[in-house]
Homo-oligomer: A and B are copies of this chain.
Amino acid sequence: MKQRLLTPGPTPVPEETLLEMARPVFFHRSPEFREMLAEVLADLQYLFCTKNAVVPLTSSGTGAMEAAVANALPAGSKAICVSAGRFGERWRNLCKAFDIETVNVTAPYGQPVPPEQLARALADHPDARAVCTTLSETSTGVAHDVAGFGKLVAASSALLLVDAISALGAMECRVDGWHIDMCVTGSQKALMLPPGLAFLSVSDKAWTAIDANSKPRAFYFDLKKAREKLKTSDTPYTPAHTLIRALRVSLKKIRAEGIENLWARQARIARAARAGFQALGLELFAARPADGLTTVKMPASIDSTTLLGKLEKQYGLKLANGQDNLKGKIIRLAHMGYIDQFDVLAGIAGVELVLKEMGHPVEPGKGVAAAQRALAESVKQG
């Protein structure tokens, strides 16, 4: 049976990148590797829409989040954590682990935190050193108005730290344009790679904070050391260099398409996914949905764990469940990276078939037709 990986990370890796991963291993302290890394770093700047350095780290995205907190925020400082899901909460837990006082600005799961709520927190806490948030909250499928947050934070002395792990390359994200000081992503989402690499952009404002921090709590994630090494396109410790070679393939694809074209294509696929599920009478879970995944509430009679099990076993479709309290209640369909519009049609088709099998009243074809109509709306005629 043909398998389709439609989870919001890891995502499928293009066949040519897989073949890149099968190429012989090479020595990394060489002019050839430095040349390749320099090229990849320039392409990462393009992806991030930033003129600033993007630091590659060999870790999961959480490692890059730790790098941001541990380098830029001294113990005893204060951070505003804007959180509406499990990954937003990760910033909070990270800050706690590093003795940073957190001001929690939250919204219920499925809702975004509106910028006005952050504005009040910034007014109440002018001593906050950072605002930590999530662009695409992978646990709920909600997108935050990070452009709105950025305007507020730029007017303060705080840094804006953004987890864009399931967002970068899957939806609009303008690091410089939105005043994001430290933006994090990982290799296993829209970058079409296996997990193992994380990336962190650092603005001038963030470097100033890092340089002023006399007691960074970082060694492996020491950004000053990374900055020094990046001057010669090198890394402080042995990087996952075969992944960096594979990353080059993904970044070339993104450059060839053009980042704004990519965002538009992603937005179109996301609209189709939402239209498809809604046409089945299902409710979207995210009030302000991200473009890289669609989260859908299950009807009261349907346990999502059962539905997802059937999708996988009977149709080779691997979608994700809700996490923690949302387990059994929602499903999460990814559409980023190497998952395209027709994979989304397959996902919706599978959900139609399994809902029907489970006795839920659906009219087969209604979901896929609605998704297809949404796709067709953006096709230029003539």
Contact yes or no, B27 A318, CB < 8 A: yes
Smallest CB-CB separation from A235: which chain B residue?
B60
Among A93, A222, A238, A242, max chain B CB count under 10 A is at: A238
In the assembled complex, A328 has its CB within 8 A of some CB on chain B: no
Query: Least Cβ distance of A20 to chain B in Å?
Result: 8
Judged by a CB distance under 8 angstroms, whether A351 is at the interface is no
Binary flags per residue of A1-36, CB closer than 8 Å to B gives 1, else 0: 001010101111100001101111111100000000
Q: Which residue of B lies closest to A186 (CB)?
A: B238
Contact with B along A34-71 (1 / 0, CB 8 A): 00000000000000000000000011111100100000
User: Chain A interface residue count: which class?
Assistant: 35 or more
Report which of B28, B62, B218 forms a contact with A237, defined as CB distance below 8 A.
B62
Contact assessment for B242 and A194 in the assembled complex, using a CB-CB cutoff below 8 Å: yes
- Closest chain-B Cβ to A30's Cβ sits at a distance in Å of 8
- In the bound assembly, the distance between CA atoms of A13 and B245 in angstroms comes to 15
In the assembled complex, A148 has its CB within 8 A of some CB on chain B: no
Within 207-227 of A, Cβ neighbours of B (below 8 Å) are at 217-222
Q: By the criterion CB–CB under 8 Å, are A238 and B60 in contact?
A: yes
Using known A-B contacts A66-B219, A219-B98, A220-B66, determine if residue A239 contacts B60 with beta carbons closer than 8 Å: yes
Contact A12/B24 with A66-B220, A195-B58, A238-B60 known, Cβ cut-off 8 Å:
yes
Within 8 A of B (CB), among A178-201: 186, 188, 194-196
* A94 proximal to B (CB < 8 A): yes
Which B residue's beta carbon lies closest to that of A3?
Answer: B24
A255 within 8 A of B: no
Residue pair B18, A22 in contact (C-beta under 8 Å): yes
A97 within 8 A of B: yes
Shortest Cβ-Cβ A-B pairs, 10 listed: A196-B240, A22-B22, A194-B242, A60-B237, A21-B21, A97-B219, A60-B238, A18-B22, A62-B237, A196-B196
A-B contact pairs, 10 of them (CB 8 A): A11-B25, A21-B242, A27-B318, A58-B58, A58-B60, A58-B196, A60-B237, A66-B219, A195-B238, A195-B241
B-binding residues in A (CB < 8 A): 3, 5, 7, 9-13, 18-19, 21-28, 58-63, 66, 93-94, 97-98, 186, 188, 194-196, 217-222, 237-243, 318, 320
10 other A-B residue contacts (CB within 8 Å) besides A10-B27, A63-B237, A66-B219:
A5-B27, A9-B238, A10-B238, A25-B194, A27-B318, A58-B63, A66-B220, A194-B242, A195-B240, A196-B242
